[in-house]
Amino acid sequence: MPTRSPRPPDRAATEAALQKAALALVERNGVLAGLNLREVAEEAGVNRGLVYHYFGSRRDLLRAALRADAEQRFGDSAPGFGLPAAARYSRFLRTFVGHRRAAMLATLLTLDGDDSLHAVPDLEGARGRLARDVVDGALPADIDADALHIAMSALVYGYLVFRERFAGELNSDPADLDERVAQLVERMIAGLVSI
């Protein structure tokens, strides 16, 4: 009986496994420990040569992993897109608490000079939702929608990067602090209508 040669690996599945492994190692070992591509390949259960073949470098692997994670984050946020601005941004923060790792990686890639990263991946969609909020009376007509969106994005990213440190310094449970901050975000945006 002839032996079969092994099937070539499925490229998409291998890339996804490598991206997942890279993010898991960064989360487990910390960012400053560096990302060892041999460990990434072992974690993903693939040959180390595939890391270089598919991504070329550690930085390109992290970029790809971040993009894939960002797509998932965006999908997780989509159910809140129909909410008014105050509830939408509060939900945005609550949703992204589950994706803290991506915020940290995005911050590191930005600090590393990565120009391919989009801090506002759905700018036109956000503008459309904010314009709807103005028409619906959830935001004042004279609001600078771009500035509001950037300010709220900066607040969320900053909170996510420093979340555990903030909670530790306040001697607070991180989940409790998440809720307090999310409620404050909602009140801040709702308060714009009365200004």
DSSP code string of the chain: -PPPPPPPPPHHHHHHHHHHHHHHHHHHH-GGG---HHHHHHHHTS-HHHHHHHHSSHHHHHHHHHHHHHHHHHHHHGGGTTS-HHHHHHHHHHHHHTTHHHHHHHHHHHHTT-TT--SSTTHHHHHHHHHHHHHHTSS-TT--HHHHHHHHHHHHHHHHHHHHHHHHHHT--HHHHHHHHHHHHHHHHHHGGG-
Task: Report the pLDDT averaged over residues 46-74.
Answer: 82
Task: Report the pLDDT averaged over residues 66-86.
Answer: 80
Identify the pLDDT of residue 5: 43
The pTM assigned to this predicted structure is: 0.75
Distance, CA of 26 to CA of 32 (rounded, Å)? 9
Task: Report the pLDDT averaged over residues 69-73.
Answer: 73
Task: Report the pLDDT averaged over residues 68-80.
Answer: 76
Identify the pLDDT of residue 65: 83
In the chain, what's the furthest Cα-to-Cα distance?
81
Task: Report the pLDDT averaged over residues 161-174.
Answer: 96
Band of the pLDDT at 6, cuts 50, 70, 90?
A: low
Q: CA geometry: angle at 115 spanning 14 and 26, to 5°?
A: 45
pLDDT digits (tens, 9 = 90+) for 14-39: 898 999 888 888 778 876 667 788 89
pLDDT digits (tens, 9 = 90+) for 138-163: 999 999 999 999 999 999 999 999 99
Task: Report the pLDDT averaged over residues 165-181.
Answer: 97
Identify the pLDDT of residue 107: 80
- Start-to-end CA distance of the chain, whole Å, equals 81
